Amino acid sequence: MSQSAASSPALTRARTTGFAAAALALVADQLLKWAMIGLLDLPYREQVKVIPFFNFTWAENRGVSLGLLTAGSDAQRWALVGMTGAIALGVLVWLLREANRFDTAALGLVLGGALGNILDRVRLGYVVDYADLHFGDWRPFYIFNLADAFITCGVVILLARSLFSGEKQPDPMKDAAPINPVAAPEK
């Protein structure tokens, strides 16, 4: 990327949008987790019924999505921190290179959510989960948190824009010189 492209106003606006979304996601996630632990005392109460199909239910997630790769030791915990940190770094690099503000906003949601969960794992040794959506005994999701919701929304936005946007990638062969395999050699 050239110096002028790296500092263009459009790219600066896109990055600002992405970083604002990341900051908003991180702060909202951590404030809500603080409220669950402090104000609601959810670790002690274990569950608070909110409405018939939604509860706040305490869960300490020592794995990643869907409870996969559960960390049973400190070494595994730090390996998860490293793995999720590497993924977050990849999202950050993508955000820094992306010029589309919708995409940087979505990437910011993913980055902020990831950082919120990484911060939990570093501070507490587990990710704080509390959102329990259910219909009777059927739960369409495991217990999750706001960071997970931000990550999911960001990924869905990126997928939807990728699948349904009218933007086409430039065709590198469009302006290439035609190849004529039967052209006579020049004398």
Catalytic status, residue 103: no
Q: How far apart are CA 155 and CA 127, in angstroms?
A: 20
Q: Are 131 and 56 in contact (CB under 8 A)?
A: yes
Catalytic status, residue 29: no
Q: Which of 74, 129, 132, 137 is catalytic?
A: 129
In the chain, what is the greatest distance between 2 CA atoms, to the nearest angstrom?
Answer: 91
Contacts of 30 (CB under 8 A, 6+ apart): 116, 119
109, two tokens: 């949601």
Q: Which of 29, 103, 120, 148 is catalytic?
A: 148
Contacts of 140 (CB under 8 A, 6+ apart): 133
Q: How far apart are CA 114 and CA 127, in angstroms?
A: 11
Active site positions, annotated: 129, 148
